[in-house]
Structure 1
Amino acid sequence: MSNNNSKRIFYFDALRTIAILCVVLLHVTGHLGEMMHYNLSTIYSLSGAFETFANNFFRIGIALFLMLSGALLLGRDWDVRNFFSKRIPRIAKPFLFWSLIFTFMLISTSYFIPNIDFVDKFGIFDMLGVFIDMLLCKAPGAAVYWFFWMMLGVYLLMPIFNKWINSTDWSNIEYFLVLWIIYNIAAYSLMIPIPEAVSFFISPIGFAVLGYYLRYSERKIFNNSFAAMILIIIPALIMMIYSYSIVDSKILFVFHRYSFLIMMEAVGVFCLFKTSSILNDFGDNIKKFVSSVALCSYGMYLIHSQLIMVARKIIHLQLNFTIEYIFLFIVGFIFSWIIICILGKIQFLEDYIGIK
């Protein structure tokens, strides 16, 4: 089942923009959640309701990134060696570059700015330890770097799945997806204990296969905008209702990024942008902006969390929820996009900042 299509598709750019937007909004929500003093009156407020919604709905960002990788890369004729030589450096170089930059930033801000204590020792081996912690997602603001390691695992598995997809039929792909969905329900909805190392590989590559399937599937349910809206709205309502039904035991219940309801929402968003003529018929200026964000999305992912963290440290926010949310969104989304865009104009940096 080989499909070759190198032509740029706008709805893919739109989905990538939605994906990075969701990631940033989720992390902004998380930062504000740390600053809020939760109690029953807080959780039943408008800001509490938004926190509950955002902490679940915006988790579709990672799923969308994975589905786009599968939609773009699977089912094509490519050589394994060329695939690795092109794809792995495209994620590894920016990861190493920004890890080094933010290691320097953590050390320098801790050394020169009073009351900032990201780093408390400044010996050579201590600073090397900060860099290693950055690579291992242990340094302040580096927790989001797990994404690189996950994508590396997906790329290592892709040649196997690509060869299988090119030699099989739709019924076998659907059979795999059914088994994969059952696995995800067991692991992330029924919470049946499964080794984390197994989940780290199975769930992401499944989303990649799902993205390929949704791109080319001719089933009516996946080619209907109304059905896509249902797949978005129903899971969102269920998650809100369930979260509030257990408010006495857990103030904020968060569904796992690979849970069944999150997957349904991601499928709905993917299919909505695939099928909606309205969402694919924006003006040229909007399309240029969307395409620009899509190209910068990986670099934005690698820098947005640290920018938000440093902004919180330097500027002690004591404003209302809405103003703080807008401010952190501007720092995490708009400012990170501007940084990547500007650096992208420097030719020798293009391979290192996360433009793809």
Structure 2
Amino acid sequence: MSNLNVGKRKSKRIFYFDALRALAILAVIMFHVSKRLSTLIISTYTPTINLQWLFGDFFFAGMIIGVDLFLMLSGALSMGREWTIRSFLGKRIPRIVEPFLFWGFILGIVILLIQIYFPNVLHVIDVFNIQSLGNYFVGIYTSKTFGFGQYWFFWMILGTYLIMPIFNKWLLHSDLKEAEYFLVIWLATCFFTSTINHPLPIKLNYFTGPIGMVVLGYYLRHTKRKIFSNKWFPILLILIGLFCLIYGSFLNSSDHSLFKFDRYSIFNAIEVTGIFLLFRNFSGFTFNSEKLSMVGGVFRKGIFSIAKYSYGFYLIHQAIMDITIKVMQYNHSFIGYGSLFLKLFLITLVISWALMAVLNRIPYVNRVIGAK
């Protein structure tokens, strides 16, 4: 069965896509918070799993799924539809480039101003001259500067967008079984190359990396296989994926290092498949009572808001988090473990959310902040 008619459906907002996008950015923030607290997680390591270590590693090893979910959403929303290369790239490229340039410049200036006025809190550049400033901003856009480590995502998603028109033409004129063929080989590379680090002798470069997540998102949205409609199957996949990610991290960690699998490991693929299917299968859930409907309305608005600002959140959250940590260290309040995780997560989320909400009300500026 061909998918020629997929792109002819009337476009409308689908709640479970918003929910997945919101979960993706929240997972990214939680992962980065846990990464900043990795030394504290390591300090709780013992030869047997304990609750303190498990708490930290759940977010460190188990929440490295945010980027995967974003990629799957790109496939679910864009692949298998009738569009030209010009229309696709003309819409997608400015949407990611403009916020990338805007926030890199604005936050870069903010960090420099903090250094100028509070040199004891923050130091990112030694000399204020043209060469040093040029290197500083190049470092921002190549994810090598304080507060901008997550900017590697831009270059990855840009490369993925450039190859997506080729894969879209294939999917548009193919049967879902052909997508299954691709995914089986991709999952094999996930296992050998990205999980056990033993690449197969045969070269499978065209079946590796982020494009597999894109195809997986497209496939899971459109597949009619009964097992994927079972409401318990996704939960099983999530539990298996999480268990393997966390237990594998425990087996490979020590009292001086913390291990996580590659983001394209087979265990990540299992977990995100379960999450995507769980949200898809429960997308028709409705609230029956009046009170629950009110709660559901507020909940949905919150989910929509986070989803709307998700790309902007991604671009700004790490700078906000890293500045917060510097301030806390300067004030000698960078202490605790669980409470510190909660503080960093909430401060980062609230400031990011407030900043995006305010700027979204400003004409012209709202077009370049990463809001959809």
TM-score normalised by L of structure 2: 0.89
Aligned position for 1:112:
117
Among candidates 86, 93, 97, match of residue 102 of structure 2: 97
Gaps of at least 5 residues in structure 1 are none
Letter in 1 for 2:34: T
Q: For the residues of structure 2 that align with 1:252 and 1:314, how far apart are their CA atoms?
A: 25
Among candidates 316, 324, 327, match of residue 340 of structure 2: 324
Q: For the residues of structure 2 that align with 1:255 and 1:73, how far apart are their CA atoms?
A: 28
Among candidates 274, 279, 293, match of residue 306 of structure 2: 293
* Helix, strand or coil at the partner of 1:240: helix
**Alpha-carbon contact 2:189-2:199 (below 8 Å) kept:** no
Aligned position for 1:314:
327
Letter in 2 for 1:190: I
Q: For the residues of structure 1 that align with 2:362 and 2:126, how far apart are their CA atoms?
A: 34
User: How far is 1:15 from its partner?
Assistant: 0.3
Q: For the residues of structure 1 that align with 2:177 and 2:49, how far apart are their CA atoms?
A: 46
Q: For the residues of structure 1 that align with 2:211 and 2:127, how far apart are their CA atoms?
A: 40
**Alpha-carbon contact 1:43-1:251 (below 8 Å) kept:** no
**Alpha-carbon contact 2:45-2:53 (below 8 Å) kept:** no
Q: For the residues of structure 2 that align with 1:212 and 1:91, how far apart are their CA atoms?
A: 21
Q: For the residues of structure 2 that align with 1:109 and 1:277, how far apart are their CA atoms?
A: 45
Gaps of at least 5 residues in structure 2 are 288-292
Aligned position for 2:77:
72
Q: For the residues of structure 1 that align with 2:271 and 2:283, how far apart are their CA atoms?
A: 20
Q: For the residues of structure 2 that align with 1:201 and 1:277, how far apart are their CA atoms?
A: 30
**Alpha-carbon contact 2:241-2:267 (below 8 Å) kept:** yes
Aligned position for 1:241:
247
**Alpha-carbon contact 1:10-1:280 (below 8 Å) kept:** no
Change beyond 3 A, Cα 1:248–1:103: closer
**Alpha-carbon contact 2:21-2:69 (below 8 Å) kept:** yes
Identity of aligned residues (%): 38
Q: For the residues of structure 2 that align with 1:132 and 1:43, how far apart are their CA atoms?
A: 44
Change beyond 3 A, Cα 1:248–1:149: closer
Q: Write the deviation string for residues 247-289 of structure 1: whole angstroms up to 9, x where unpaired.
A: 4586422111110001100000000000025766571111111
User: How far is 1:322 from its partner?
Assistant: 2.1
**Alpha-carbon contact 1:273-1:280 (below 8 Å) kept:** no
- In terms of fraction of residues, the more helix-rich structure is 1
Aligned position for 1:335:
351
Aligned position for 1:344:
360
Change beyond 3 A, Cα 1:170–1:193: closer
Aligned length: 353
Change beyond 3 A, Cα 1:21–1:279: farther
Change beyond 3 A, Cα 1:114–1:334: same
* Helix, strand or coil at the partner of 1:252: coil
Change beyond 3 A, Cα 1:333–1:280: farther
Aligned position for 2:219:
213
Q: For the residues of structure 2 that align with 1:336 and 1:209, how far apart are their CA atoms?
A: 31
Change beyond 3 A, Cα 1:127–1:279: farther
* Helix, strand or coil at the partner of 1:241: helix
What is the CA RMSD across the aligned residues, in angstroms?
2.2
Change beyond 3 A, Cα 1:71–1:176: same
Among candidates 8, 33, 38, match of residue 13 of structure 2: 8
Letter in 2 for 1:336: S
User: How far is 1:100 from its partner?
Assistant: 0.4
Letter in 2 for 1:338: A
Q: For the residues of structure 2 that align with 1:150 and 1:305, how far apart are their CA atoms?
A: 18
Aligned position for 1:167:
173
For 1:222-261, what aligned pairs fall within 5 Å after superposition? 222-248=228-254, 251-261=257-267
Change beyond 3 A, Cα 1:30–1:336: same
Q: For the residues of structure 2 that align with 1:225 and 1:354, how far apart are their CA atoms?
A: 34
1:26 aligns with 2:42: no
